[in-house]
């Protein structure tokens, strides 16, 4: 599919409040037909998501430890099953007050590894391939995807309503900063 047709389809799915604010852009190389151009997302004419640009306003993490330090201030909900799993793995040798701390630390470590893996996949991703996949999959699959770009495209989609956005506020806190940025943008557009 040509870029202009793909762009037109993507922008037709934008939330009415974000039309004109969020744009999908691409650069092409006239003399290098085998080299793919760079695709990026702009918000209010500012380049917000360019996969390899360090000057964008979204924080790119360099290490898993940076992610863990950023997540330390987030209130993470723990289930009884997660605490019991820690108790079983420690053979009951850990004091009760430490079980929740260990379970929370394990959940933060797991989230940090997922963000780091998603970050690595995003750098290698092909915008047009992800956009085509977004157009062919149901919105529920896209919004729950581990692919950062697919989730961003779903967040700015008109088929995602305010109630669904509000219900996913806890899950978004554990996602990549790029996803958090577009979540906040969409949430404040109502």
| pLDDT in single tens digits along all 190 residues of the chain | 787 898 899 999 999 999 999 998 877 655 555 555 577 889 999 988 876 544 455 555 667 777 777 777 777 778 889 888 888 888 878 888 888 888 888 888 888 887 777 666 665 557 788 888 999 999 999 999 888 889 999 999 999 999 999 999 988 988 888 899 999 999 998 7
Domain that holds residue 100: 64-113
DSSP structure string for 55-122: TSSSPPPSSHHHHHHHHTTS-----HHHHHHHHHHTTT-S-HHHHHHHHHHHHHHHHHHHHHHHHHHH
Kindly state whether residue 31 falls inside one of the protein's structural domains: no
Q: What is the pLDDT of residue 54?
A: 47
Kindly state whether residue 5 falls inside one of the protein's structural domains: no
Nearest C-alpha neighbor of 7 from the set 126, 122, 125, 135: 135
Kindly state whether residue 109 falls inside one of the protein's structural domains: yes
Nearest C-alpha neighbor of 177 from the set 154, 157, 159, 151: 151
Q: What is the pLDDT of residue 112?
A: 80
Own/partner long-range contacts of 104-111 (Cβ < 8 Å, ≥24 apart) = 104/76, 104/78, 106/82, 107/76, 107/78, 107/82, 108/68, 108/71, 108/72, 108/76, 109/64, 109/68, 111/67, 111/71, 111/174
Q: What is the pLDDT of residue 60?
A: 58
* Domains identified in the chain, total number: 1
Q: What is the pLDDT of residue 127?
A: 79
Q: What is the pLDDT of residue 57?
A: 53
Q: What is the pLDDT of residue 176?
A: 82
How far is Cα 65 from Cα 167, in angstroms, rounded to an integer? 28
Q: What is the pLDDT of residue 16?
A: 94
Kindly state whether residue 48 falls inside one of the protein's structural domains: no
Q: What is the pLDDT of residue 12?
A: 94
Kindly state whether residue 160 falls inside one of the protein's structural domains: no
Kindly state whether residue 20 falls inside one of the protein's structural domains: no
Kindly state whether residue 71 falls inside one of the protein's structural domains: yes
């Amino acid at each position: 599919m040509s870029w202009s047709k793909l762009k037109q389809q993507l922008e037709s799915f934008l939330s009415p409040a974000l039309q004109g604010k969020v744009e999908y852009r691409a650069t092409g190389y006239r003399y290098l037909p085998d080299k793919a151009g760079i695709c990026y997302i702009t918000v209010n004419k500012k380049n917000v998501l360019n996969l390899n640009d360090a000057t964008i306003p979204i924080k790119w993490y360099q290490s898993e430890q940076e992610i863990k330090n950023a997540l330390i201030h987030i209130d993470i909900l723990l289930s009884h099953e997660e605490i019991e799993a820690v108790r079983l793995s420690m053979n009951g040798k850990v004091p009760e007050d430490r079980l929740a701390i260990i379970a929370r630390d394990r959940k933060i470590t797991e989230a940090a590894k997922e963000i780091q893996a998603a970050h690595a996949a995003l750098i290698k991703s092909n915008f047009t391939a992800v956009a085509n996949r977004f157009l062919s999959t149901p919105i529920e699959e896209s919004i729950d995807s581990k692919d950062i770009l697919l989730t961003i495209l779903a967040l700015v989609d008109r088929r995602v309503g305010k109630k669904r956005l509000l219900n996913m506020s806890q899950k978004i806190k554990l996602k990549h900063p790029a996803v958090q940025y577009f979540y906040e943008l969409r949430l404040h557009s109502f």
